[in-house]
Structure 1
Amino acid sequence: MTAATTPADAIAGPAHPVLRLEAVRKSFEGTVVLRDVDLEVAPHTVTALIGSSGSGKSTLLRCAGLLEEIDDGAILLDGTEITDPRADQDAVRRRIGVVFQAYNLFPHMTVLQNITLAPRRVHAVPRAEAEERACALLERLGLADRAGEYPDRLSGGQQQRVAIARALAVRPRLLLLDEITAALDPELVGEVLDVVRGLKDEGMTMVLATHEMGFARDVADQVCFLDGGVVVERGTPARVLGEPGHERTRRFLSRLVAAGRL
């Protein structure tokens, strides 16, 4: 594992999961989006969330990253309830990296400036150290020659890799990835997924929402199928994708097979 991507709490003990959701509920304007969701994510594992659009995958990630306030239940990070009103949620957010479908890079900043902004402004990392860390990440992600470029000079795949580097620059304990290939042209998907494979090899704990079933099968340790805001089925990729036990899961996968996506 490289120093640039080592999670800040990688030495935390194995007595509890990195992330745990307990009976989490979330509604928007009276519409229930998450219904009593339970989820555990072990250290150094990848959990893939699958399901149709609107099934609750993105909302689950946003709640886990404290970007949305839950209505009921609890979310724990390394055994500490982070949804407790007394918790220092700003401090918690600094331990969680989030990457969205949209790259959300600042267009008026160079790649290097985008990556070093949070370490310098939020974590008070000295400029030289932040830039050294950023350059190491860019080297790792095959973008060493792009540090001085502005986002509009990059391809979609390159911009998404910069977004991943930005999330990693704060050395998060947990990385949340929300459909990070959805906005990419098909020929660019592979380069971004290869980055995630590399992060798995380095021991990063990740939860990702994806429509890439082949990728989920290859990379995930745990697959959770969501439907109507409920975790209908969870297990290893081989079991959930190969031998689903629930009829709703089988229907979802059969539609993917019919569409040539599985």
Structure 2
Amino acid sequence: MRGVVKRYGAATVLDRVDLAVAEHQVVAVIGASGSGKSTLLRCVDLLEDIDDGQLLLDGVDVSDPRLGAAATAAAQRRMAIVFQTFNLFPHMTAWENVALAPRVVHGLPAGQARQRAGDLLRRVGLDRFADAYPDRLSGGQQQRVAIARALAVRPRLLLLDEITSALDPELVGEVLTIVREVARDGMTILMATHEMGFAKQVADVVCFLDGGRVLEAGPPEQVLGDPEHERTRAFLARVIAAGRLG
């Protein structure tokens, strides 16, 4: 992201954001509610048009409107996003949810798509629930299916938008364990999170977003342990008081 600006009417939600994610790197974006974290991820995934700046994927500005809809769709096929809510198709089983995009969007033959879905459900510990519909799964299980669905398209970049915020506390750990394993395998990840302890464990870089601006970025031990900016220190003090630093 180079100088990215996003406005909704008179409100500037992202204000000249500069942010880089290297291959195989995990970058965690932290900040208070309303700081722009979710909007940032939606802009990266081209779900929102930006008002200024550039979004570069492998050196190509995929936000350039002159590239056209086909180029935008091609860029989106190289990324995958997991939202706060699971957004599974309720009329499809777990394996059907996971197999859909590889088959329909990426043209994978049905048999191979099902095989890939089965392998991924096994990876996230849900192979015995492959034929279950979402309403038969817990929130943590649904979110693990959503992660498997994102991984099924073999994305260049995996985007995670506060993926534990809708879960009961006892279900958070099972989802974070899967993300930790995916990160360990070398997946390139950009995630917005309020789980500071988790960010400290898995992220290569932590960015503090405040009022739509990146106020501070660096290694987790520096940003979370010895922040330079007063606003970062104030935010982390509130996090510690809430017991979320870990």
TM-score bracket relative to the smaller structure: over 0.9
In structure 2, what is the equivalent of residue 65 of structure 1? 45
> Which of 176, 183, 193 pairs up with 2:166?
183
Shift of the alpha carbon at 1:260? Answer: 2.2
Query: Which whole-Å CA distance do the structure 2 matches of 1:261 and 1:199 have between them?
Result: 22
Query: Which whole-Å CA distance do the structure 1 matches of 2:108 and 2:127 have between them?
Result: 21
Deviating 4+ runs (over 4 angstroms): none
Question: How far does the alpha carbon of each residue in 1:39-90 deviate from its partner, in whole angstroms, 9 at most, with x for none?
Answer: 0001101000000000010000000000100000000011111011233000
> Which of 189, 206, 223 pairs up with 1:206?
189
In structure 2, what is the equivalent of residue 9 of structure 1? none
Query: Which whole-Å CA distance do the structure 1 matches of 2:163 and 2:181 have between them?
Result: 15
Shift of the alpha carbon at 1:112? Answer: 1.0
In structure 2, what is the equivalent of residue 39 of structure 1? 19
1:14-33 aligned within 5 A: 21-33=1-13
Question: How far does the alpha carbon of each residue in 1:9-32 deviate from its partner, in whole angstroms, 9 at most, with x for none?
Answer: xxxxxxxxxxxx000000112100
In structure 2, what is the equivalent of residue 243 of structure 1? 226
> Which of 47, 54, 61 pairs up with 1:74?
54
1:148-163 aligned within 5 A: 148-163=131-146
> Which of 203, 211, 219 pairs up with 1:228?
211
AA matched with 1:69: D
If the length of structure 1 is used for normalisation, what is the TM-score? 0.91
Shift of the alpha carbon at 1:240? Answer: 0.2
Query: Which whole-Å CA distance do the structure 2 matches of 1:115 and 1:223 have between them?
Result: 30
Shift of the alpha carbon at 1:257? Answer: 1.6
1:6-17 aligned within 5 A: none
In structure 2, what is the equivalent of residue 218 of structure 1? 201
Query: Which whole-Å CA distance do the structure 2 matches of 1:220 and 1:82 have between them?
Result: 25
If the length of structure 2 is used for normalisation, what is the TM-score? 0.97
Query: Which whole-Å CA distance do the structure 2 matches of 1:261 and 1:84 have between them?
Result: 39
AA matched with 2:121: L
AA matched with 1:75: L
**SS at the partner of 2:235?**
helix
**SS at the partner of 1:40?**
coil
Query: Which whole-Å CA distance do the structure 1 matches of 2:171 and 2:119 have between them?
Result: 22
Q: Percent identical across equivalent pairs?
A: 64
Question: How far does the alpha carbon of each residue in 1:186-214 deviate from its partner, in whole angstroms, 9 at most, with x for none?
Answer: 00000000000000111000011000000
In structure 2, what is the equivalent of residue 197 of structure 1? 180
Query: Which whole-Å CA distance do the structure 2 matches of 1:66 and 1:188 have between them?
Result: 30
| RMSD, aligned CA | 0.7
AA matched with 1:235: G
Query: Which whole-Å CA distance do the structure 2 matches of 1:213 and 1:106 have between them?
Result: 31
**SS at the partner of 1:224?**
strand
